[in-house]
Chains A and B, each alone.
Chain A
Amino acid sequence: MHVPDGFLSPQISVPAWGAAAPLWVWAVRRTFGASATESLPALGALTALAFVVQSIMIPVPGGTSAHLTGVAVLALCHGPLAAFACESLVLLLQAVFFGAGGFTVLGVNALALGLLGPGAAWLVHRALRRLSERAAAFSGAWAGLQVSSLAVSLVLGLQHHLSSQYMPVPFPVVAAAMMVPSLTVVGVVEGLYTLFAMSLLRRARLLAAP
């Protein structure tokens, strides 16, 4: 789902870095700071799992790729800011050491996959929690993934709008390629993954019962 290096021009990637940088400072202080020591083990386990599920990706023509993100569960358990920090760490490691994603597009990827998606998941979960905890977690994760893929396809569409020389694929094609698998398959799997991970965490007593 994340955009590789060379798919977005500095017109987009530089402002995205500018927007993400202060958020990173804030999120990293809050998440990895001295006050959050006790939550680090659970965060680490979830982040490692997120890395694993994000490495398994299926390329999608016109869009980028389809894969789980595994960050919705981070947002639901530890707040959207922690999800943003952890997802950024995953993206950074993938970009610098494993050649997936990229450094110039790190801001865009972090905002789309780490902030908007988990943020939406967290909001939906909060709104629906009173009805049913499980349904809220599932629909939060599903909605978060839709928001992330919509954001990525919007950014790619914007790039096409700025320069069709640069990104030749128009927005409708990108959006269709990204959203169809995301709406039908990936979102559902992400929701199930989130449910599974949360029940596992609860069983391991790393998460308070609702």
Chain B
Amino acid sequence: MRALACAAAVVCAIAPLRAAAHEILHQVQRGRALAVRAFFQDGQALADQQAEVYSPADPKIPYWRGRTDRNGWLAFVPDVPGKWRVRVVDATGHGLDTQVDVEPAIGGPDSGAPSGAGPLGLALRPVVGAAVIAAIFGGLYLWRRRRSA
């Protein structure tokens, strides 16, 4: 681990250090969520009712569970295209049980890193690469040493 410590020390010496740990980060994406509204024939919303959403990938366990808002809306962010089942259950036993089609464009798998990093990710490229190499050598070293021990 001396090498990793050494590499870390070198890079940290080059760049001014600012501590930032245990942050809760967030990400805003527009046009990615799907909203469904449930209402009675007379227009009255099914407000504040229990609701469940099932992914086409797993029809048994709910993908999302919660309550509709004051206007009868619920929203979720699909991760696969296909037919999503939406259930809203009224306290009186009335309810909505319907299927919503999700197009591949919306429900495409949000794979890998959030790619909104753009030029920021590019600027960090040398650091990421260096960390990868350090980890490769560290992994090889530890694995070899423990095997021989």
Contact = CB atoms under 8 A, between A and B. Distances in A.
The answer to whether A and B come from one shared complex is yes
Contacts of A55: 125-126, 129
A44 B134 contact: yes
A37 B130 CA distance: 20
Interface residues of A, number: 25
Given A93-B129, A206-B6, A47 B137 contact: yes
Nearest to A33: B144
Given A55-B126, A200-B10, A48 B144 contact: no
A41 B10 contact: no
Interface residues of B, number: 25
A145 B1 CA distance: 30
Interface in B113-149: 125-127, 129-134, 136-138, 140-141, 144-145, 148
A43, A51, A55, A206: most-surrounded residue (chain B CB, <10 A): A51
A84 to B, nearest CB: 16
B18 interface: no
Contacts of B127: 52
B94 interface: no
A52 B133 CA distance: 10
Interface string A195-210: 0000010001010000
A40 B137 CA distance: 6
Interface string B89-129: 00000000000000000000000000000000000011101
Contact of B3 (A37, A40, A93): A40
22 contacts: A37-B145, A37-B148, A40-B140, A41-B4, A42-B2, A44-B3, A44-B133, A44-B134, A45-B6, A45-B134, A47-B137, A48-B129, A48-B130, A49-B7, A51-B126, A52-B130, A55-B126, A55-B129, A93-B132, A97-B129, A98-B129, A206-B3
Interface of B: 1-4, 6-7, 10-11, 125-127, 129-134, 136-138, 140-141, 144-145, 148
Interface of A: 32, 34, 37, 40-45, 47-49, 51-52, 55-56, 89-90, 93-94, 97-98, 200, 204, 206
